[in-house]
Every structure is written in structure tokens, then in C-alpha cells.
A and B are shown apart, each in its own frame.
Chain A
Amino acid sequence: MSANTVGVGDPATTPTSQRVARIVGRAGILIPFLIAFVVLAIISPPFLRVGNLTNILDQQAGIIIVACAGTFVLIAGGIDLSIGAIYGLAGAVALTTASSVSPVVGVMAGLAVGLAVGIANGVVVTQFRINPLIGTLAMTFVVSGIAAIVTKGNLVVALGNHDFQAFAGTKILGVSSAAWIMIVIAVLAAVLLSRTTFGRYVYATGGNTQAARLGGVRVNAIRVSTFALSGTAAALAGTLDASRVLSAQASSGQFLTFTVLTGIIVGGTSILGGEGTIGRTVLGCLFVALIANGFNLLGLDPFYQQVTLGVILLLAVGVDAWSRRFE
């Protein structure tokens, strides 16, 4: 990261800095990701153990699922801050329903909650023309409040519900089902974004809303769809994690929004819309996970980890703004 950002704030628009900008743009997150990987492998021998790596995948499953859907929202020119709240509510709803009715209905109920909140977000943003930042921030409060009511402010547990636990925790080829679901979702999202008409419309909507509208694209429908995807994905992540630990709490997703947005933006998706890919989002999330993993392996204070991630997000947004100056 640092090697690529020396030019930030450099006022001279020399050909050299333009060339650097282009290289940074093309290679993007891959370079810092590889650097972090190699450095960790060298300084911390336990890092490369299969157990550690599959553990990272398992823990990141939820984050990457949400980030894949969040990439659609950002590309279409929106932003969804309510994913953490949806994650918490869906986990709580899924867990309680799994206990009271059945695990399958629990999962369905969790996903339905996310879909509903996602569509509500989309309607708020498109029909009421509320800025997505504010609209989804307000929705965060509404949804967190509902989650606190559902859980009565407590940690809800479903100890011994092994059927529900199997949703996230079944091992296949040594990797958890949560990780497998994440891999499938990432592949589907990549195909949806890069190969379908829907994906094209998402890029067009965020790249130039007015042009897309005049070109016959139903931009509001596209934006609502991206929020619906994001809400459903957040609910899936919440449900998976509730299944994994067999407990849920209204506030469990409080850092999720930040982590997911950092992953997406570090991956090179522009906060201004119109740009980004799923592959880069996955790499961005893994990069953030490597940093966190490194802090753990090296036994550093987790508060420094928080500071580091904040700085990384600022750098990523800075690089985005900087690379746009050469157009």
C-alpha cells in the first residue's frame, strides 16, 4: 500500500505520476495483498498453517458475502450503511425462529428480513429521493432498534441446536459450509456483474445516471435491486454467523459496515460509482483480514488494529480521488 501512495497530494501532474496512477489502477489491490501475504508468511510461521488459512476464510465468509453485494450498491452510485444492523437483526430472527419453528424456516426468515429491509432502503433512496448515506443511516437505527426489541436487549442463544449449526458449520473437504457458500456467492456475483445485462445496467446507472435513464435503463429499479441484494446478503451473513456460534445479539454487526466498506473500497471500487469488480472486492476484504490476522498473530493491541484499518480506508479513498485526476 505505502509503496503505491507516495504520490498522494503531489501537485505536479507529471507524466511519471500519471504512469504510476495507471499502474496503481490496473494492478490495484493485488500488489499490497501479495506484500501483506509474503510479509506475514515470513515474520509469523503459524500464518501459513492450513488451520490458520481456513480459519481466515471461515471468519471472512460473512464479510465477503456482504461485500460482494455491497459492490453492486456502490457501483450503482449508492451506499448501504445499514448492513451491520440488518446482519444483527437477521441473525437474531433466524436464531429465534430456528429454535421455535425449524432451522430451515429460521434461515428463510432471516433472509426475508434482509430482503425486506433492502427493498425498503431502495424505495427510500429512489422514491423519496433521500441521500443513500442518510437514508441507510436512519435505517440502521430503525433496524437496530427492532433487533433490540426482538432480542429484548439480550444475547439470544440456541445451545444444542445442531441442525441449525450445520448450516454454517458442516465441513466439506476441510472447509466450512459457510466458506463454501461464500465462494459460490462470490462467483455468482462476479458473473452477474460482468456478464449479464443487469450488471451492465448497474455500471451504467452509477457511471452516469442521466445517460442511463435517457438510454432507456430503469435506473430506479436497478438501484432498488442493488439495495435488495445488499440487504439479503447482510441477512445471509448474519444468519450464517448466528448458526456458526449458535448465538445472536442486536449489536453483533456494529463493526461489519465499516469492515465491509473498507474491503470494497480498498479493492478499488469507487465511492463515486460506475466502477469496481467482484474479484477486487474479495481481494480487498482478504487484505483487510490479513492485516487483522497479522495483528493477532503478532500479539499486537487490537486498538492499534482499529486505527490501522481506519488509516487504510482513508488511503484507499485518497488513491481513488488521486487516480481520477488524470482523466
Chain B
Amino acid sequence: MQVDEAVHLEVRGLGKSFGATRALDDVSIAVRQGTVHAFVGENGAGKSTLGKIIAGVFAQDQGDLMLRGTTVSFGSPRQALVRGIALVAQEVALVPRLTVAENVFLGAEPKRAGFIDRGSLRARFDRLIADAGFDLQAGSVVGHLPIAAQQQVEILRALAREADLLVFDEPSASLSSVEVERLHQIIRALGARGHTVILVSHFLSEVLDLSDVVTVLRDGRVVRTSQTKDETEASLVTGMLGRPVGRAYPEKRLPPADSRVVLDVAGLSAPGVADATLSLRAGEIVGLAGLIGAGRSELARAIYGATAATAGAVTTAGTTLAGRPAASIAAGVALIPESRKDDGLILRRPIRENVSLTSLRRFERLGFVRRGAEGAQVRHALERVDASPILESSAGSLSGGNQQKLLFARALLIRPGVLIADEPTRGIDVGAKRDIYDVLVRLAADGMAILLISNEVEEILGLAHRVLVMRGGRLVAELSGPDMTEGGIVSAAFGTTTTSAA
């Protein structure tokens, strides 16, 4: 067998199934030493599974994994780590109560006579952090650090074990734009120092920006592997979907100038939110922008009554909301929460029950659920969001995009006048994103007022009629018309502007 010196890791004929789902099928890729190699594809294309097989999280069903020409097999991430492969996962896997240095050396602590040698641990940590150029304190408790810093701790942990192949699985999914920029510098620096990086990412701009080589996956198969410089965002999307896509965002339709105010928030304060005043009119999509931690989700939850307000009032159509979810639902205010899995769905229960949860009283007679009426309405609501899943299968069996549609269908069932959508497209693939955009625009056209929270400035610009920007728990700017630009939003979010508050 001829061995190419420059190939760091190669997979040949890799196959993997999860139950009836074929996640990977006959995948062959060579990753060269010192390159940043990106895997892109829709959700379910297999990119994350491939990354996890390489890092030893899953075992493949068929095919070979070859490290510098030698066939290897990993039973666990720990074994992969011994061979220099580390995974920096989407969900940070650190011990929150331990310090940065303790996490970095967890399981590989320098010991003297059975006790942890604190001096040597500290010295090694200082060397490591100087090399990496991170701004982290050895003694900080990890649980108190922002996600971006926790991710750096994970990278340090990989470097401490002398890993030379780092698999990043959706590293920027939960970072703010500044933090993403910092992460990109780190990944570039790793590449420049001869480390091999595998980047699994949804964000095409990130892939185009960072990677040297890109592999496009679709339905568990490799579409092509090519030099990134030969690709464009459009070419990647076409490769991922197997067809060219139309415009990224549906056409904006402005609400009539005289449409009435349907939600009035006056001087609302709650944990993380100070003195927020805003109003939404029927048919309007209002974007809520800001950095992570600026208080956008907190504001959404305070309006909905999920957290108790300490001051201020929310009124809709003349009624003051009681500050409880049930009361908000009754008044026609719906929330699509930020985290589908934590705050939205009951994954092990059927789709039917997930969609009807908030409006179950409507299908009730003498305490019993009228299943016929329930099924018909649930099906109708799902049709309105372009989904037609089987009602009795579990919510957890659906893809991220379809799970999000369940939450939209649930919201629609209460016939809301106001919809607060917190990051409705996070972690879902390109095709499903466009579906969600269409749904949002259609609902607004039908007269619903929508408050859209998103980390993607582009998404807000593409959908919103006007934009509110938060910083440090306060609404600091309102942008509309020609002022609605990426620059305007970002500078307001960072506080480099003097635009007066809304």
C-alpha cells in the first residue's frame, strides 16, 4: 500500500447506521497534515457523525480509519486522545465546579507520591497558555466562565495532551460574533502551527473563511472534496441540497401604516432586563438584536411571564398580562423558546401531544381529551407550517427543523396575536431555515405581530421590518428603513454609537 506522507488521517469506505437510518455510507476522505478541513452538509447529512467516529465517540459499522497510514480503531474518545485526536464538542464537556487548570489536566494530573503536584501543574498550565495565547486565569471556576472561554479550556485540554488533530463540532453555534472572531483566530493559529483541524460547521461563511479543504456531504455520502478557494457559498449550498436554492429570504411585505398596536411593553424590568419599553403592531416583524448575554431571551421570557417582572407592565389588546405563561397564552401571546430541547418539546412523547399541549383545554370535554378534534386541529396547524409528520411518532424522532415546526404549530394552535420567536433557526439546516422564514413572513402577512430574536444579524436584516438592539439588559437603539444595516446593529450592540433609545 502506498502511503502518502502528508496524509494525517484517512477514512475509507466508512459506513454507520443508527437503527434504520443510514448516517454514513461508503465515505472516503483524506485529511492532510496541517490543513483545516471542513465538513459541511445539511442536518442529517452525516458530518457530525463522521467527526465523532474520527474522535472515537462512535464506532463505525464498516470501513477503516487510518492514522498516518496505519489502520486504527478507537473504542472511546479516550483512546482517540492517546493517538492525538481530540474533540471540541458542541456541548462543552467540562466539570463546572473545578478550576480552569484542574479541568485542563483532569485525568492527567502531574502527581507526586499519589498527590496532585500543584506546583508542576501550575507551571505546565502557564507554559501551555503562553503557547496558546489565551486570556484565561488558572484559578477561575469553569462554571462561571462564558461559553467561549469554556471552549478555550477544552482546546487547552486537547493541547495539554499533545493532540495534533482537533475535531471542532459546530464550535461557533453558541457564541456571539466577537467570540466567533476570536475562535476563528484560534483555529487559524492552530493550523499555522502545524495542527490538523477538522471543522464540522453549519456556517458556510465560517467554512469559506477558515478552511483549506472542504468536503460536502449529503445523505451520508460524500458529494465532493475540493479546495475551499474553488467554492462559494452558492456552490456549497447547491452541493449540500443537490439543487440550487432561490433567494435566502422571502420578500418583505410591510404592514399597513395604520395597523394597530397589539403588544405594549412599558418600563418592564426583570432579572437581566432593565426598563424595557417597546410596542409591536399587527403584521410587523420586529428584530431583537444584541450580543449573547445582552438580555434578549430574558426580555422575551419576561414579556411572556416565564420569569417574574420586578417592574413595568405588558398589555395586549387592552388587557394587562398577569405574568404567567397560562395567562399569556389565554391572551394570545405565544413564545417559541430558545432551546427546543430544554424549554420546548417533550421529546419522548408523541407529536400530537407536543403540538396540542398549550391548547388542550380547547379539546376537552368533562376532563377527557377529544382525540378526533385534537388530531384534526393538530394536523391543520402542522400543515400551516409545511410539516406533515405522523402524529403518533415521538417528537424526538424528528430533525431539528421539523422539531422547530412543531413549536410553531403549537404556537399557532392558540391563535396568537403576538408571537415571540427566540432563535427559531438555531441549529437547523439550510433548507429548513428557509421554510421557517417563509412561515414567519406568512404569519406576519396574516396580521400576527412577531418579535424575532436572532444571533444572526443577516437573518434579522433579511426578515425584520424594524430592529431593536439590546445591550446590558437595556434597549439601546431602534433602527428602521435605511438605518437598518449590519454596521448599525453591530455598533449599537457594542455601544459604539450614540443613537438614542427607542
Query: Chain A residues in contact with chain B, CB under 8 A?
Result: 11-15, 18-19, 22, 195-198, 200-201, 203-204, 207-208, 210-218, 274-275, 326-327
Docked CA distance A216–B337 (Å)? 13
B345 at the interface (CB under 8 A from A): yes
Residue of B329, B358, B369 near A196 (CB, 8 A) is B369
B430 at the interface (CB under 8 A from A): no
Task: Specify which chain A residues have a CB less than 8 angstroms from the CB of B189 in the assembled complex.
Answer: none
Task: Specify which chain B residues have a CB less than 8 angstroms from the CB of A18 in the assembled complex.
Answer: 18-19
Other than A200-B357, A210-B343, A211-B357, give 4 A-B pairs with Cβ distance below 8 A.
Answer: A13-B58, A196-B367, A204-B353, A217-B357
Residue of A200, A204, A216 near B329 (CB, 8 A) is A216
Q: What 6 pairs between A and B have smallest CB-CB spacing?
A: A207-B346, A216-B326, A215-B357, A216-B329, A208-B346, A215-B358
- Once the chains bind, are B58 and A200 in contact (CB under 8 Å)? no
Residue of B61, B325, B348 near A214 (CB, 8 A) is B325
Task: Specify which chain B residues have a CB less than 8 angstroms from the CB of A327 in the assembled complex.
Answer: 347-348, 396
Task: Tell me which of A211, A218, A274 has the highest count of chain B C-beta atoms within 10 A of its own C-beta.
Answer: A211
The residue of chain B having its C-beta at the shortest distance from the C-beta of A326 within the complex is B19
* B156–chain A nearest beta-carbon distance, Å: 29
- Once the chains bind, are A214 and B335 in contact (CB under 8 Å)? yes
- Once the chains bind, are A208 and B367 in contact (CB under 8 Å)? no
Query: Chain B residues in contact with chain A, CB under 8 A?
Result: 17-19, 58-59, 61, 75, 304, 306, 325-326, 328-330, 335, 337, 342-349, 353, 356-358, 360-361, 364, 367-369, 396, 410
- Once the chains bind, are A218 and B326 in contact (CB under 8 Å)? yes
- Once the chains bind, are A204 and B343 in contact (CB under 8 Å)? no
- Once the chains bind, are A204 and B19 in contact (CB under 8 Å)? no
Docked CA distance A12–B306 (Å)? 42
- Once the chains bind, are B345 and A15 in contact (CB under 8 Å)? no
Please, could you name 29 A-B residue pairs with CB atoms under 8 Å apart, sorted by A? A11-B75, A15-B19, A15-B61, A18-B18, A22-B19, A195-B368, A195-B369, A196-B367, A197-B360, A197-B368, A198-B367, A200-B360, A203-B353, A204-B349, A204-B357, A207-B348, A207-B349, A210-B342, A211-B337, A211-B342, A214-B306, A214-B344, A215-B325, A215-B358, A216-B326, A216-B330, A218-B326, A274-B346, A327-B396
Task: Specify which chain A residues have a CB less than 8 angstroms from the CB of B356 in the assembled complex.
Answer: 200
Docked CA distance A35–B360 (Å)? 41
Docked CA distance A204–B357 (Å)? 8
The residue of chain A having its C-beta at the shortest distance from the C-beta of B306 within the complex is A214
- Once the chains bind, are A274 and B349 in contact (CB under 8 Å)? yes
The residue of chain B having its C-beta at the shortest distance from the C-beta of A192 within the complex is B367
Docked CA distance A204–B349 (Å)? 8
Docked CA distance A200–B356 (Å)? 10
- Once the chains bind, are B343 and A214 in contact (CB under 8 Å)? yes
* B10–chain A nearest beta-carbon distance, Å: 24
Docked CA distance A19–B328 (Å)? 43
Residue of B61, B325, B330, B367 near A213 (CB, 8 A) is B325
- Once the chains bind, are B349 and A12 in contact (CB under 8 Å)? no
- Once the chains bind, are A211 and B346 in contact (CB under 8 Å)? yes
* B321–chain A nearest beta-carbon distance, Å: 13
Task: Specify which chain B residues have a CB less than 8 angstroms from the CB of A213 in the assembled complex.
Answer: 306, 325
Task: Specify which chain A residues have a CB less than 8 angstroms from the CB of B396 in the assembled complex.
Answer: 327
The residue of chain A having its C-beta at the shortest distance from the C-beta of B19 within the complex is A18
Task: Specify which chain A residues have a CB less than 8 angstroms from the CB of B337 in the assembled complex.
Answer: 211, 214
* A221–chain B nearest beta-carbon distance, Å: 11
Residue of A15, A195, A196, A203 near B346 (CB, 8 A) is A203
Residue of A22, A197, A216 near B369 (CB, 8 A) is A197
Task: Specify which chain B residues have a CB less than 8 angstroms from the CB of A210 in the assembled complex.
Answer: 342-343
Docked CA distance A13–B19 (Å)? 10
Docked CA distance A204–B347 (Å)? 10
- Once the chains bind, are B325 and A204 in contact (CB under 8 Å)? no
Task: Specify which chain B residues have a CB less than 8 angstroms from the CB of A201 in the assembled complex.
Answer: 360
* A323–chain B nearest beta-carbon distance, Å: 11
The residue of chain B having its C-beta at the shortest distance from the C-beta of A216 within the complex is B326
Task: Specify which chain A residues have a CB less than 8 angstroms from the CB of B329 in the assembled complex.
Answer: 215-216
Residue of B19, B328, B335, B348 near A274 (CB, 8 A) is B348
* A276–chain B nearest beta-carbon distance, Å: 11
Task: Tell me which of B329, B330, B335, B358 has the highest count of chain A C-beta atoms within 10 A of its own C-beta.
Answer: B358
The residue of chain B having its C-beta at the shortest distance from the C-beta of A11 within the complex is B75
* A137–chain B nearest beta-carbon distance, Å: 26
Docked CA distance A194–B304 (Å)? 30
* A197-B364 contact given A18-B19, A210-B343, A211-B344, CB 8 Å threshold: yes
- Once the chains bind, are B361 and A197 in contact (CB under 8 Å)? yes
Task: Specify which chain A residues have a CB less than 8 angstroms from the CB of B75 in the assembled complex.
Answer: 11
* A74–chain B nearest beta-carbon distance, Å: 14
The residue of chain B having its C-beta at the shortest distance from the C-beta of A324 within the complex is B348
The residue of chain A having its C-beta at the shortest distance from the C-beta of B371 within the complex is A195
Docked CA distance A189–B407 (Å)? 30
* B421–chain A nearest beta-carbon distance, Å: 13
Residue of B17, B58, B61, B410 near A215 (CB, 8 A) is B410
Task: Specify which chain B residues have a CB less than 8 angstroms from the CB of A14 in the assembled complex.
Answer: 61
- Once the chains bind, are A197 and B326 in contact (CB under 8 Å)? no
Docked CA distance A174–B465 (Å)? 75
- Once the chains bind, are B368 and A196 in contact (CB under 8 Å)? yes
Docked CA distance A72–B33 (Å)? 57
* B24–chain A nearest beta-carbon distance, Å: 13
* A211–chain B nearest beta-carbon distance, Å: 5
Task: Specify which chain A residues have a CB less than 8 angstroms from the CB of B368 in the assembled complex.
Answer: 195-197
- Once the chains bind, are A275 and B348 in contact (CB under 8 Å)? yes
* A212-B369 contact given A15-B61, A218-B326, CB 8 Å threshold: no
* B329–chain A nearest beta-carbon distance, Å: 4
Task: Specify which chain B residues have a CB less than 8 angstroms from the CB of A197 in the assembled complex.
Answer: 360-361, 364, 367-369
* B364–chain A nearest beta-carbon distance, Å: 5
Task: Specify which chain A residues have a CB less than 8 angstroms from the CB of B410 in the assembled complex.
Answer: 215
Task: Specify which chain B residues have a CB less than 8 angstroms from the CB of A22 in the assembled complex.
Answer: 19
Docked CA distance A236–B63 (Å)? 61
Docked CA distance A13–B335 (Å)? 37
Docked CA distance A22–B17 (Å)? 15
* A113–chain B nearest beta-carbon distance, Å: 26
* B131–chain A nearest beta-carbon distance, Å: 35
Docked CA distance A211–B337 (Å)? 9
Task: Tell me which of A19, A197, A216, A326 has the highest count of chain B C-beta atoms within 10 A of its own C-beta.
Answer: A216
* A189–chain B nearest beta-carbon distance, Å: 14
